[in-house]
Amino acid sequence: MAADFVIAPMPVVSVPVAGQKARFPVHRIYCVGRNYEEHAKEMGFTGREPPFFFMKPNDAVVVVDADQTGTMPYPTLTKNLHHEIELVVAIGTGGKNISAADADKHIYGYAVGLDMTRRDLQGDMKKQGRPWDIGKSFDQSAPIGPIVPKAEAGDIVNAEISIQVGGTDRQRSNVSKLIWNIGETIEHLSAAWELQPGDLIFTGTPEGVAAVVSGDTMVGEIAGLPKLTVKVA
Ligand code: MN
């Protein structure tokens, strides 16, 4: 017998899979901080520090189909909304204490994502030693394009990653410049949490993070994956 609930349960959050009708159900969203050296420098840090993580709620995703322009509202409370273009890893098989060498077996596929950030609020929280949630984990803070199964995604570890705003380059780098590569990231993450099928990992952003305003259109690209186009309403 189906369970009864006192309020309507939340629907399953899901992301389209390129070339398929079946969708990818989203469990948790993990994000890696400062995982490209030039971005770490622009944020006032240097060197290879151990990876660190924060989360976004799974219903923060803004799902954008291929060849469509998604919309995210300009969020409340901020005057400095930043784009962070990121490679997203979709976990197909869970596990804990996964070694970097075994990590590939746990990956379902990849997508282009945006770790949208209320930078002013994040900065205030950093100064006060408080959690980043209000800066990072707000509603609709995680636009994402379709997930491409890993076998169809090409040479993702050497893929160019970029974002343009209004047709002008803002960030342009290469996934090969990750400080902690995908396998190492999964090793560290799965030592701290048991990964589950459906988890997404935003792997970090390269240098060039900057503000967008209402009316801007962001076009994120990672070679081998569908573009992610999002307009700030
Ligand atoms: Mn980020």
Q: How far is the CA of 67 from the centre of ligand 1 (A)?
A: 24
Helix (H) or strand (E) holding 104: none
Count of structural domains, the chain: 1
Per-position pLDDT tens, the chain of length 233? 678 999 999 999 999 999 999 999 999 999 999 999 999 999 998 767 889 999 999 999 999 999 999 999 999 999 999 999 999 999 999 999 999 999 999 999 999 999 999 999 999 999 999 999 999 999 999 999 999 999 999 999 999 999 999 999 999 999 999 999 999 999 999 999 999 999 999 999 999 999 999 999 999 999 999 999 999 99
Distance (Å, rounded) from C-alpha 39 to C-alpha 28?
25
Q: In what order do the strands lie in the sheet with 81-83?
A: 117-118, 81-83, 210-212
- pTM strictly above 0.75: yes
Do the beta carbons of residue 231 and residue 217 sit within 8 Å?
yes
The pLDDT, as a whole number, for residue 18 is: 97
Give me 37's structure tokens: 């050296």
Are 81 and 118 in contact by the 8 Å Cβ rule? The answer is: yes
Query: What letter represents residue 11's amino acid?
Result: P
Run of H or E residues at 76: none
Q: Which residue has the tokens 């999964």?
A: 186
Return d(Cα 110, Cα 152) in angstroms, integer.
10
Does residue 9 fall inside a structural domain?
Answer: no
Instruction: Kindly give the distance from the C-alpha atom of residue 151 to the centroid of ligand 1, in angstroms, as a whole number.
Output: 25
- Say if 2 falls within a structural domain: no
Q: How far is the CA of 164 from the centre of ligand 1 (A)?
A: 17
In the reported structure, the alpha carbon of residue 118 is separated from the centroid of ligand 1 by a whole-number distance in angstroms of: 11
Domain that holds residue 174: 14-232
Ligand 1 centroid–CA 31 distance in Å is 6
Report the separation in Å between the CA atom of 204 and the middle of ligand 1, taken as the mean of its atom positions.
5
- Residue 212 one-letter amino acid: V
Strands (E), the chain: 14-16, 23-25, 29-32, 53-56, 61-63, 69-72, 81-83, 85-91, 107-114, 117-118, 142-144, 148-149, 160-165, 168-174, 200-202, 210-212, 217-222, 228-232
For residue 222, being part of any structural domain is answered with yes
Query: How far does the centroid of ligand 1 lie from the alpha carbon of residue 232, in Å?
Result: 18
Residue 173 lies in a domain: yes
pLDDT given for residue 48 in this prediction? 74
- Output the CA 7–ligand 1 centroid distance in Å: 34
Question: Do the domain assignments include residue 176?
Answer: yes
Q: Evaluate whether residue 81 is within a structural domain.
A: yes
Residue 146 CB neighbour total at 10 angstroms? 24
* Rounded distance from Cα 32 to ligand 1 centre (Å): 6
Residues with CB under 5 A from ligand 1 (ion): 84, 115, 205
Domain membership of residue 190 (yes or no) is: yes
Q: Which two tokens stand for residue 171?
A: 């960030």
Q: Ligand 1 centre and the CA of 215: distance in Å?
A: 22
Q: 182-186: which pairs have CB atoms within 8 A and are 24 or more residues apart? A: 182/87, 182/89, 182/103, 182/107, 182/157, 183/100, 183/101, 183/103, 183/104, 184/51, 184/100, 185/32, 185/35, 185/51, 185/89, 186/89, 186/91, 186/98, 186/100, 186/103, 186/106, 186/107
177 three-state secondary structure: helix
Residue 26 sits in a domain whose CATH number is 3.90.850.10
CA of 4 to the centre of ligand 1 (A): 39
Q: How far is the CA of 202 from the centre of ligand 1 (A)?
A: 7
Q: Identify whether 3 is part of a domain.
A: no
Per-residue pLDDT, 1: 64
